[in-house]
Amino acid sequence: MKAFVVEKYGKDGVRAADVPEPAIRDGDVLVRVSATSVNPLDKMVRNGEFKRLLRYKLPFVLGHDVAGVVTKTGSAVRGVAVGDEVYARPRDLRIGGFAEFIAIDQDDVSPKPESLTLREAAAVPLVALASWQILVDRAHVKPGQKVLIHAGAGGLGSTAIQLAKHLGATVATTTNSRTGELVRSLGADIVVDYAKEDFSKVLSGYDLVLDSVGGANLEKSLTVLKPGGLAIGVVGPPDAGFAGQLGAPSFMGVVMNALSRKVRMRAKALGVRYQFFFMQASGSQLRELGALYDSGRLRPVIDRTFPFDQTPEAMAYVEQGRVTAGKVVISMTPYDE
C-alpha cells in the first residue's frame, strides 16, 4: 500500500513509500483510510521531540487522525463490523493515518458522526479528544467559570471554544483580525486581537488557560489566572505527569520536571498551577463527542484539503503558518464522501 513514512528524524525525514498492508491483531479493525488531517503533533513526532518516550521503530507511518471504512475485524472485535464508517485517533506507537490502510485497536475507534462526511470527520479526533480531556477530565469546567483559550482559530482552539461554551463557561480567546468573526461565531465571548492588545493587560480572574503557544505567552498566561487557577500547556514544557502517562522510567519524570521547573516555580509564586497535557486515544469519548457534532453543538473547521499524494505539501503548509483557521485535511478521494 502507499504511505508516507518517517525514514529518519528531522524536517526532511518523511518520504512516500510502498509498505505492506498492516496485519491485524485479535482486537483490531483494519480501516481503509478515506481521509486524515495534519496536526502539530505530526511535526513533533517527525522531528523526534518525543523519541525518548515514544519509541517508534524507523521507518514508521505518520498520521494521528483517521476517518474511513472498516474492511476487516479481528476475532475478538465486538460492536464494529466490516463496512462501518469510523473515525479515530489511534493510540501512540500505533499511529499511521498517512496511508491507504491502518490497523487500529477496537477501543480507539468510534462510529463516524452521521452529520459529518468522512473528510470532515478526519479533522476531528485529536483536537476533539484533547479539548474533552482538558476541559472535562482535567479542568472539570463548570457553568460560570472563565476560560481563556489561546489561538482560538486553530484546530484545537476552534474546537475547545465550542466545547467550553457548551459546558457553560465564559470564553475568551486570542486571535487576529482576520478570524475575529469566526471565533465569535464559535462561541467566544471576549476576543483579543494579539496584534493590537496584550491579553495579560485586559484579562484577569480566569479559572483556566489553555495554551498552545508556549514560551513567553505561557508565562504571561499565569498572570491572568485567579488564585488556584490552572494553566494547561499542550506544547510544553513537559512535566513528570507526562512521563508517568507514557509509562516512562522514573528518572524521565525527574528530567521532565527539570524542563518545566521555571514555569512551575513561577506559577507557585503567583498562587496558581501549571500542567502539561498530552492526549490519549479513546473511542468511548469519541462516541460522546460524535453526539455533540450530530446535535450541532460542535462543528469542524477546515482550512483546506490536500490530495493524498501531496501529504508533504500539506505538512509544509501547516508548518509555514499558512493556515487561516481550523484543520488541514488530506483526502484519498477528490470528492467528499
The second-level CATH assignment, the architecture, of 2-124+300-331 is Alpha-Beta Complex (3.90)
**pLDDT score, position 65:** 98
In contact, 163 and 145? CB cutoff 8 Å: no
Q: Long-range contacts for 39-43 (Cβ within 8 Å, ≥24 apart)?
A: 39/64, 39/65, 39/126, 39/127, 39/155, 39/327, 40/212, 40/235, 40/318, 41/126, 42/315, 43/315, 43/318, 43/319
What predicted TM-score, i.e. pTM, was given to this entire model? Answer: 0.96
**pLDDT score, position 334:** 67
Closest CA to 184 of 173, 195, 194: 173
Q: Are strands 170-175 and 109-111 parallel, antiparallel or unpaired?
A: unpaired
For 126-276, CATH number out of 3.40.50.720, 2.40.50.100, 3.40.50.1220, 3.40.50.10800 equals: 3.40.50.720
**pLDDT score, position 6:** 98
**C-alpha cell at position 44:** 513533533
**pLDDT score, position 333:** 83
For CATH 3.90.180.10, the residue range(s) in the chain are: 2-124+300-331
**pLDDT score, position 253:** 82
For CATH 3.40.50.720, the residue range(s) in the chain are: 126-276
pLDDT in tens, the chain (337 residues): 999 999 999 999 999 999 999 999 999 999 999 999 999 999 999 999 988 888 999 999 999 999 999 999 999 999 999 999 999 999 999 999 999 999 999 999 999 999 999 999 999 999 999 999 999 999 999 999 999 999 999 999 999 999 999 999 999 999 999 999 999 999 999 999 999 999 999 999 999 999 999 999 999 999 999 999 999 999 988 888 888 887 878 888 888 889 899 999 999 999 999 999 999 999 999 999 999 999 999 999 999 999 999 999 999 999 999 999 999 999 998 654 4
